Amino acid sequence: MDTQTILAVAGIVATVLIGFWAIVMALRYHRSVQITYAHDHAIALIDDITQNFPELKVLFRDQPVSDNLVLLKGYFINTGRKDISSEMTEKPITLKLPTDFEWIECKVVECSPSMKVTATIAGNNEILLETGLWKVKEYIKIEALAKVPVVKADPDNLPKDYPTSRLLNVLKFPHRIADSKSILETGVPRREFRASRFYKNRWWVMAVFAVVFGASFLCMDYFFPDRTINWRLPIDGQERVMSLRVKGDRVLLTEKDGFEKKFTLQEFDQISDKHPEIVTKNNWFFIISGVLYVVLGLIMLMVSGTRRFRENRLLAIIAGNAKT
């Protein structure tokens, strides 16, 4: 199989893989109704604000706040392709916590123009977000205070025992909205300095590295193929090009189609009309490695591009609505 055929097959395989991936991504991210929760901040009011300033007091309703009180900020965005009407909502979006957690307060601090939203605490561990007509690309920004139960911190597991981490790990968003599945959770994208974007986007860096690495393998096979000396000679009335190797006390001649012929050294020397010929061979290690790296890099580039597109879309929705 020559290099052109191999590259053609590799191109077909890459096209099929990338096409399959694109279909999966389209089905996953382009549902008719899709709600996204973009987490903004979670602040432990005591641990994050007053730990270095013991004299500083944080008050809520003219009373000092208790330990493990966490302020949660986030956005709910209609990222689907369909408006959500009140008739489609059997159970509104609920911010649900376990029974040992408690919601203290919740407010809708911002939302898209003309959108009507109310946040109601139901019991101690549920917040209901009731909306009217929720159009595509409209958003809701909420801020809520939650009381996190005090636990004995494990010195070896401090990040997970931190109040904000414990709150985010147990927070759920159940609902019953027609044509909608579970809420997609992400973070609010942060605008970075241009000099640091390249290095912080690891997917993009790894993808470029994989494509360049794979392309270098393919270039090495194309420009520096394996070259061996074969023999062109007549055998059984047919001219053949055969490789030569020694097997025991005999010379073994092998053709690429599998034909073999053994001779003694003296018999081989007596064959007339034989002459050496340089034969170029593909290096299968370079070809297979190159194709795999290039395909992997292209898939990673598409994943990174999709992620960047979604982040930019969320930023555009939040920033665009905030300006109007």
Give tens-digit pLDDT for 120-137. 998 889 999 999 899 988
User: What is the pLDDT at residue 280?
Assistant: 77
H or E element at residue 73: strand 69-78
Confidence band, pLDDT 50/70/90 cuts, at residue 11: low
Under 8 Å between Cβ of 167 and 103: no
User: What is the pLDDT at residue 275?
Assistant: 84
- Asked whether the predicted pLDDT for residue 173 surpasses 90, the reply is yes
User: What is the pLDDT at residue 191?
Assistant: 56
User: What is the pLDDT at residue 15?
Assistant: 64
Six token digits for residue 68: 């493990």
Residue 110, number of CB atoms within 10 A of its CB:
15
- Note the pLDDT tens digit of each residue in 61-118: 666 666 678 999 999 999 888 899 989 999 999 999 999 999 999 999 999 888 999 9
Q: What mean pLDDT is predicted for residues 20-37?
A: 68
User: What is the pLDDT at residue 43?
Assistant: 87
- Asked whether the predicted pLDDT for residue 158 surpasses 50, the reply is yes
- Note the pLDDT tens digit of each residue in 288-310: 878 888 888 888 777 777 777 77
The residue among 63 and 255 whose pLDDT is bigger is: 255
Vertex 236 angle, CA 235 and 237, to 5°:
90
User: What is the pLDDT at residue 107?
Assistant: 93
Q: Is the pTM here over 0.75, yes or no?
A: no
User: What is the pLDDT at residue 195?
Assistant: 40
Residue 146 has φ and ψ, to the nearest 5°, of -125, 145
User: What is the pLDDT at residue 199?
Assistant: 43
Residue 148, number of CB atoms within 10 A of its CB:
22
- Asked whether the predicted pLDDT for residue 182 surpasses 80, the reply is yes
Sequence-separated (6 or more) residues with CB below 8 Å from residue 189: 311, 312, 314, 315
Q: Which domains does the chain have, with CATH numbers?
A: 33-188 (2.60.40), 226-281 (2.30.30)
The residue among 236 and 174 whose pLDDT is bigger is: 174
